[in-house]
Structure 1
């Protein structure tokens, strides 16, 4: 699924949940008015709260660990949303912590940002991050492969036809993965 389809599915789920919980679609309408909310910097604290809420609906099982971060699997994967007005995000500077590899939803390392540090293959869909990588920063000592899942339309094939889109060298960053690879990574693999 591409970004617009993911946003539509998420927003429909949020709307249905809001109606079921409150009996009204007022909250759902405010979220549905801005389908790009998951893919841009929040303009207010209210939008930041909505981003966190949508992320947790897209990938249940996370725990909000700060105002703008959600942690999965005891810190194995962390999603960070930009704080409203955060200047560093606008500057387009790669900011992946040492020993982590990060993928950004926007060009020039624009937030939101997902980060991992585990070796081996990881399924980004588990964390609601499939097809959401536009720029990357590998701040590890190992190579990272970004992989597209392809089961040829038949889930019985599993991962048999998955293929590597690109690889990132240790301590390297790409401010844009290119038109061909943009928003296509479904898995990552850290070779350590």
Structure 2
């Protein structure tokens, strides 16, 4: 009768554990909050050749719109005076997409932000009309009057905006 190969099995297991211990710090280093934000930025840039990274966690599109991706657990910066901003989370949290132009319809889907708005802030003199284009005819969901805000769009409209028209003020 052959003896069991227990020592060899233990040696293989010990090598596997040692390899995992060596690899863990390297994997942890690439999972930092900054690295996750950069991965998100890279995904946006890959889908928008006209966009550029203008700061850490910030993408500027050819038309001037700015996407800010904050680290998990942190807030995006405040909406710049004269701009209007869409936020992915309630209470002006999560990713923020900012605009300052007027007189045209724009599609949030063109910026990777379709059906992702939960709150908004309008610090401009313009009036913004947010729409859901997944209905026929499209549904106007809310109006952003100049110098106004909504910390939550409400359950009915949460994550449904995919376009908006901005009337010059």
- TM-score range for the pair, normalised by the shorter chain length: 0.7 to 0.9
The 1:83/1:174 distance shift into structure 2, 3 A limit, reads: same
CA distance in 1, matches of 2:97, 2:32: 20
The 1:176/1:142 distance shift into structure 2, 3 A limit, reads: same
| Equivalence map 1:6-17=2 (5 Å) | none
Question: Corresponding residue for 1:134?
Answer: 118
Question: Corresponding residue for 1:51?
Answer: 40
Q: CA deviation at 1:142?
A: 2.0
TM norm structure 2 = 0.73
CA distance in 1, matches of 2:93, 2:70: 9
CA distance in 2, matches of 1:143, 1:52: 29
Question: Corresponding residue for 1:82?
Answer: 70
Which string of whole-angstrom CA distances, capped at 9 and with x for unpartnered residues, describes residues 106-135 of structure 1?
A: 110002100111112111111111111000
Which string of whole-angstrom CA distances, capped at 9 and with x for unpartnered residues, describes residues 49-79 of structure 1?
A: 11112222454431111111001015x2110
> Does the 8 Å contact 1:77/1:116 carry over to 2?
yes
CA distance in 2, matches of 1:168, 1:68: 26
Please provide the CA RMSD for this pair: 2.3
> Does the 8 Å contact 1:70/1:80 carry over to 2?
yes
Task: Give the number of the structure whose alpha-carbon radius of gyration is greater.
Answer: 2
Question: Corresponding residue for 1:96?
Answer: 79
Worse-superposed segment, 52-61 or 180-189: 52-61
Q: CA deviation at 1:175?
A: 0.6
Kindly tell me the number of residue pairs found equivalent between the two proteins.
138
The 1:77/1:141 distance shift into structure 2, 3 A limit, reads: same
Which string of whole-angstrom CA distances, capped at 9 and with x for unpartnered residues, describes residues 73-120 of structure 1?
A: 15x21100114664xx18xxx811111100000110002100111112
Q: Structure 2 stretches of 5 or more lacking a match?
A: 1-26
